[in-house]
Structure 1
Amino acid sequence: MNKINSKQTFLILPLIILMMGQFGTSADNNFLAIGARAIIQSLNANISDISLANSIYSLIAASFMIAGGLLAITLGLKNTFRIGVILAATGEFILAFSPNITLFIWGGRVLVGLGASLLIPSVLGLIAAIYQKKDRAIAFGFIGTATGIAKIFGMVAGGYIIDFFGFRVAFGILGVYFLILLFMSIFIPDTSGAGKKVRFDFLGTIIASLGLFLFVIGINKISIWGLIEPIKAPFEIFGISPVLFCIGAGLVLLAILIPIEKRIEDKYGQALLPRSFYQNPAVRNGLYGCAMVFGGLGAIIISINPFFMLVAHFSAGQTGVAVLPTSIMMILFSVAIPRLFPNINRRFAVRMAYMSFIVGFLLIAGGMQENGVNVAIYFGLAFLGAAMGILTSQADSVVANSLNKKDAEQSGGIQATTRNIGEALIISILGMFLTFIQPVVYEKSVQKLDVSQTSKEYVAQTKFAFTSNDKFDQMNAQLPENDQSILKEQYIHDRLLVSRLTMLLSALISLLALFGTRHIPTTRTEGEK
């Protein structure tokens, strides 16, 4: 059996394998995002199905990743990693061979989500267990690099694979990839906790999973079910959308979880949610950084990629190339910061990352044009990549190094959960702008235009959300010809306005994140020296 080198030499092969694990789960999500059009056409699906396919992964992953962190301690980090890989491989093959969208979502996406909920906490836990002192920050930086590489492969290579060979080949390749990763896992060293008997916290797992599930499904469904007034809600509660009920019930369960976990930890010495995860201010501030990394990715998924494809008319492959600045800068900064500046002031670095987010979102807003983009958007994407690279190299390390060894190895679950919640929140907030604010702004503008009353009433009833010019023309084909050109010109103007507002809102969120940096250490902790 492989053992961790007591001399703490930097282990290259295990790091490559762990990077491959992170790469696989990230590439899967990128394939889904870039292959949406092909999946809709092949499986006779619609955009709501794709939204569900995307959100079901977040729901499963966010609901079970904290439990995955504890399970990794219970079964052993290496064993849990392997189980996650097997589930992910099975899910990818189901995605590749699904005859319909139902099996695609409830078979493939669910299994990939379950696999990720075990695999990702294991990756982060193994980093904390295998690498010590300054090597840990370097290793976490390389895990961030894997996310950036996955974005390049998923958005560029994946885009062209889907364009030329179809989405089935793309997901099939990932299935084979995970099987190769399963074989390579024999080279992961055993950790000191392997084989120890640890009590699994079933009560905490049930409460946490249900609470997170309700909370995440609530924020994910705001744009579909409606915040208060029901839109396409599956049911109503006293005439209002179930969204607020889901969010509220989820938060109540998570609040109840805290005192329960305190008692379990006092009694057994081990809990799903140790006190150190939420009472340690440095850990909390580090988790904010984890959330912001995937929040940035969420902004790209929900606002920037659709702008490239629907407004600038980029293909899947072209969109992948367009976001290359983000991936490249994320890779460079996640590796370079811990290597070149091992003694960097962590608080300063995290604050610079948030400032980079602000600059990036403002540049992207300026780069968005009525029917395309200009060069400013690519500089903005580069700033986003730099921000995510810095945070990846620092936030995970702040969390792990602010905990004792046992809790650090378990912290992969809470880190991964925070990432998913951060992404879900940003997608929900920006999605509300594109779904709700866009129709309101456009309807008010149309009321002031010199068009027929019939056209004004049609716009008020149709609720034009974010879409392409071609789709807009199809939706207005029955209106008077003179009105169509006037309505289209106003829609293009308002679409740009709302798109820029989403970027300004993203910049504001980044500004508020600066207030969550006070307790981040300015120097390396004792465990890193």
Structure 2
Amino acid sequence: MTASALNGDVAARRRPDSYPWKVLVVTTLGSLLTFVNSTSLNVALPAISEAFAIPAATADWMLVAFMLTLTSLILVFARISDMVGRKRLYLGGLALMTGASLAAAFALDPTTLIILRCLQGVAAASIIPNMNAMIADAFPHRLLALGLSLNIMMASVASMMGPLVGGVLLGAFGWQSLFLVNVPFGVAALALGIFVLRAEDRSRRVRRVRFDFAGAALSIATLTMLMIGINRVSAWGWQDIRPYLLIAGALCALVAFVAVERRVREPLIDLALVREKARALAYATAFLMSFAQAAVMVVVVLAEQLLRGATPAQTGLIAATLAGSVMVASPLSGLLAKWWSSRTVSSAGALFSLLGYVGVFTSLLIDEQSALLLLSLICIGAGNGIFTAPNTAAIMGGLPENRRGISNGIRSVLFNGALTLGTAIALLIVGQSLQAVDVGGYGEPVADPGAVVGGFQFAAGLLIAFSAGALTCSLARGGPWRATFIDSPNPAGSPLDSPAPREVRSAAP
């Protein structure tokens, strides 16, 4: 090889690869489509309830149907993505989400709208698990935390736009516009994804594997019975035995699911991923943080509209405060990860969130609460923004490429399962407090807020308990407080292609 050719080869190797950043653009559009669709409906719940003249327990399904379907199918699609490739599954989800959003705008009855929300959940289940996995595939390890934090920031932008855009569109054009706004994002994301995303290396896929149909059926049954049981307590009453039978059935299905996963050769969930203490506690922390994050949105949005008489636009602006602080704080976590371990950074985020939930609870006890509420939401959002990227990197780091999909699938099902549970339980608590004063829906502000504020306070107290549990789990992972990167060989089977991380103990106690 000539000297000029050798120099050209070295220069090509040193030339930065733009593909990871192109992937980030594609996932950003997917985030806009998915999370704008998800969060905008929070502020529209009273308007949809009034438009269709439906009780609160039915209106709840506009949120729960999407989340339930999404959570039930995440593990299924995460496994399929490892088998058939992430690109085609991701693009199929974008197409379905766009079409279902367009159809939902013209729904004439609540049943049709709930069915279309289920289809949107199916689409989201094929989009969300693939986003972080595609980023983990594309980014070198030294930039993985930065790539994940930027993706989380973009998802937070979408979450911030949801309540804000939703409130504005709702006041100007009605609830149908909340679905129509998804269509241009979907078309753009689909077109860009087709041209940008590379076809996966077929040799890296999980090959000649039997799909775990029994595990898939049992996981779907577990989540479906649990969510329906929790939701129907509000509609059927605490004295009705049917909700408890559904919840008991969910527990039995969960036991059967674990038993099946231990026996089959190719399980839907690789239980080896949760046997390691640090990874298992990272999963648990993600669940507890997500539960509180979802529930606080429900509590704040409904408290502002039903107790304080805020308009949808005002409520959207308040809710956007939380997502906006996530957006600002998320890149910070990627920078902190250069000096501090994932345990340190994620625990700091959990502590910030805990302080915010205490502030939300306190704001429900006082009359002049606006400044305290906004400050509390900023604290919660900053905490979640700092927490998520290092915790996700700890879950997915060091795994071979063909196991990242299922690893992120487990994280996603816990994350979205917590969102679903948090939303359902918060709606249940609020709905029961409304029923106690003979208010059947979310259509109008409550005449006597003092009679129902206790339910909101109870829900806020529950958030404090879950957030404290998240901080405890994050600290209990053990390990060093500080981290650095050194040049060392990659572990066997690891996909890492850059200096491997080594955490070092801090001099501080």
Q: TM-score range by the shorter chain?
A: 0.7 to 0.9
Question: What is the Cα deviation at residue 50 of structure 1?
Answer: 2.0
Shift of 1:377: 0.7
Deviations 1:148-170 (A, max 9, x none): 11122111122112211222223
Change in CA separation of 1:521 and 1:127 when aligned onto 2, cut-off 3 Å = farther
**CA offsets, 1:322-350, max 9 Å, x none?**
13331221012111111354232221222
Query: Is 1:338–2:334 an aligned residue pair?
Result: yes
Deviating more after overlay: 273-282 vs 39-48: 39-48
Paired with 1:384 and 1:415, the residues of 2 have a C-alpha distance of: 20
Q: CA deviation at 1:41?
A: 4.2
Give, as a single letter, the amino acid of the residue that structure 2 aligns with 1:519. R
Q: Which amino acid aligns with 2:477?
A: H
- Which residue does 2:229 correspond to in 1? 218
Find the counterpart in structure 1 of residue 87 from structure 2.
Answer: 78
Matches within 5 A, 1:422-461: 422-436=418-432
State which of 164, 168, 171 in structure 1 corresponds to 2:176.
168
Deviations 1:434-475 (A, max 9, x none): 3446777xxxxxxxxxxxxxxxxxxxxx55689798543xxx
Amino acid at match of 1:512: G
Which digits, 9 at most, give the CA deviation of each residue in 1:210-261, with x for residues without a partner? 22222333334443344x512xxxxxxxxx1x22222222222222223322
User: Is contact 1:287-1:418 (8 Å) kept?
Assistant: yes
Shift of 1:76: 0.5
Counterpart in the other structure of 1:286:
282
* Counterpart residue number, 2:262: 262
The Cα shift of 1:198 comes to 4.5
From 276, 292, 297, the counterpart of 1:296: 292
Residue of structure 1 equivalent to 2:389: 393
> Do 2:333 and 2:387's aligned partners in 1 also have CA atoms closer than 8 Å?
no
Could you tell me how far 1:372 is from its partner in structure 2? 6.3
Assess if the C-alpha contact under 8 Å between 1:120 and 1:412 holds in 2.
no
Question: How far apart in 1 are the matches of 2:46 and 2:366?
Answer: 23
How far apart are residue 46 of structure 1 and its match?
4.1
CA distance in 2, matches of 1:224, 1:167: 24
Q: 2:22 aligns with which of 7, 13, 33?
A: 13
- Which structure 2 residues correspond to residues 13-92 of structure 1 after superposition, within 5 A? 13-92=22-101
Match of 1:349 among 345, 349, 356: 345
Q: C-alpha offsets along residues 179-224 of structure 1, whole Å, 9 cap, x if unaligned?
A: 2211111202333357843522222222222222223333344433
Shift of 1:17: 0.8
Q: What percentage of aligned pairs have identical amino acids?
A: 17
Distance verdict in 2 for CA 1:372–1:425, change over 3 Å? farther
Residue 8 (structure 2) aligns with: none
Aligned residue number for residue 506 of structure 1: 463
Do structure 1's residue 93 and structure 2's residue 50 form an aligned pair?
no
CA pair 420-139 structure 1, distance change in 2 beyond 3 A: same
Distance 1:514 1:195, change over 3 A: closer
- In the alignment, the residues of structure 2 paired with residue 406 and residue 225 of structure 1 have an alpha-carbon distance, to the nearest angstrom, of 45
Instruction: Identify if the C-alpha distance between structure 1 residues 133 and 208 changes in structure 2 by more than 3 Å, giving closer, same or farther.
Output: same
Distance 1:50 1:97, change over 3 A: same
Match of 1:515 in 2: 472
Task: Sort the Cα spacing of 1:134 and 1:465 in 2 relative to 1 into closer, same or farther, 3 A.
Answer: farther
What is the rounded CA distance, in whole Å, between the counterparts of 2:423 and 2:445 in structure 1? 25
Distance 1:131 1:175 in 2: 29
SS of 2:284 mapped into structure 1? helix
1:185 to 147, 170, 193: 193
494 and 47 in structure 1: CA distance in 2 versus 1, 3 angstrom threshold: closer
Report which stretch shifted further, 140-149 or 379-388. 140-149
Moved more, 210-219 or 110-119: 210-219
Q: Counterpart in 2 of 1:310?
A: 306
Q: Structure 2 CA distance, aligned partners of 1:310 and 1:438? A: 10
From the superposition, tell whether residues 281 and 104 of structure 1 become closer, same or farther in structure 2 (CA, over 3 Å): same
Match for residue 243 of structure 1? 243
**What do residues 485-517 of structure 1 show as CA deviations (whole Å, max 9, x unaligned)?**
xxx4xxx43434443332222112211223322
Whole-angstrom CA distance in 1 between matches of 2:110 and 2:321 = 33
CA contact (8 A) 1:436 1:465 kept: no
- 1:139-150 matched pairs, under 5 angstroms: 139-150=147-158
Aligned residue type for 2:345:
A
Asked if the contact 1:298/1:426 (under 8 Å) is kept, the reply is yes
1:483 matched residue in structure 2: none
Deviation at 1:14, TM superposition (A): 0.8
Q: Partner letter of residue 381 of structure 1?
A: L
Runs of at least 5 residues in structure 2 that lack an aligned partner in the other structure: 1-11, 491-495, 502-509
5+ residue gaps, structure 1, are 231-239, 441-461, 473-487
| Contact residue 357 and residue 507 of structure 1 kept, 8 A | no
Matching residue of 2:493? none
Match of 2:130 among 122, 127, 131: 122
Deviation at 1:61, TM superposition (A): 1.0
- 1:79 to partner: Cα distance: 0.7
Alpha-carbon spacing, 1:142–1:520, altered in 2? closer, same or farther (3 Å): farther
Structure 1 residues 263 and 336: CA distance shift in structure 2, 3 A = same
1: CA distance between counterparts of 2:68 and 2:83?
23
SS where residue 176 of structure 2 aligns? helix
Counterpart amino acid of residue 109 in structure 1: R
Query: What RMSD over aligned residues (CA atoms) do the two structures have, in Å?
Result: 2.7
Match of 1:229 in 2: 239
Deviation at 1:12, TM superposition (A): 1.1
Residue 449 of structure 1 aligns with which residue?
Answer: none
Give, in whole Å, the separation in 1 of the partners of 2:445 and 2:262.
57
Letter in 2 for 1:78: K
Query: 1:240-296: CA deviations, max 9, x gaps?
Result: 1x222222222222222233223323xxxx431112232122222222233244323
Quote how far apart the aligned CAs of 1:69 are: 0.3
- Tell me which amino acid in the other structure corresponds to 1:210: A
After superposition, residues 373-384 of structure 1 pair within 5 angstroms as: 373-384=369-380
Is the CA contact (8 Å cut-off) linking 2:56 and 2:440 kept in structure 1? no
AA at the equivalent of 1:256: A
Tell me, yes or no, if the aligned pair for 2:289 and 2:466 is still in contact at 8 Å. no
Residue 48 of structure 1 and its aligned partner are, at CA, apart by 3.0
d(CA) in 1 for partners of 2:118 and 2:444? 34
Aligned to 1:451: none
Q: Distance in 1 between matches of 2:458 and 2:303?
A: 13
